[in-house]
Structure 1
């Protein structure tokens, strides 16, 4: 009698992201086997010391893949090579921000979220706070504060630590 086989294997989330990124880059290369890109913005990636070499390679490959997918909107040289744009680099970093696993996640935050994170740090520091307390300190609407804090929680800058009555209590995890 054969042993029952496992149908599903639990994969770590970071490994799953890496697998999907590699698969994406491989599929784009299969779609455009003879297409090459020229990345004159590699210095932008090299300039930032917080990226490791493997992270820089993944960003560069993903930017090239995004460039190939946008081939009709990209400049070409006389040999048909596409030029990677700054937009491709920024989009690659934005897409890969989860799997890059940066120590300082606030570097990739949009300016509005960075402002909220700085305000939370200024007003509360490491102390827990509720959305209402933050809203009253900043003078912003409920929906704006809620959306910003939820996105900061999603980015792992802020974490949910408990409840006070019906209110959720948050705490700043990473200082800006």
Structure 2
């Protein structure tokens, strides 16, 4: 993997060995056996996005996992007929883990803010791998559940006063 002199910028991935290194370092894939990680890395691709390109629009079917190697992506959601920017993701961030496992309608619009490169893995390739290696899905679901638990724990410790206001719309780990 090439190194970068720009702080905060992940090295730009360019092929299988880079993808394998990235995948092995991501919490979502941490419990996946090496043999399966190799297959998923082989099936991954490097995609380029120009500023303004949409990765997915709110309401569209989401079926791609993205690991941003350089550039930035804006996450927005419609509110009152206007898009509201919620967050920017940059090099080293990943999006779309649930898209691999569940697919379904995207709650957000993802749009390239700058020239952006991302390692991508499509749901179709992922599902074919899961059929061949059935131990993958339980391992990833375990990682996903651990992520949700950690997220909710962080939220509760940072915003305890807001928890009561959410009422039944909060407490995903209670589900």
TM-score (norm 2): 0.22
Q: Which has the larger radius of gyration?
A: 1
Instruction: With a CA cutoff of 8 Å and minimum separation of 6, indicate the structure with the bigger relative contact order.
Output: 2
Q: Which has the higher strand share?
A: 2
Q: Which has the higher helix share?
A: 1
TM-score (norm 1): 0.22
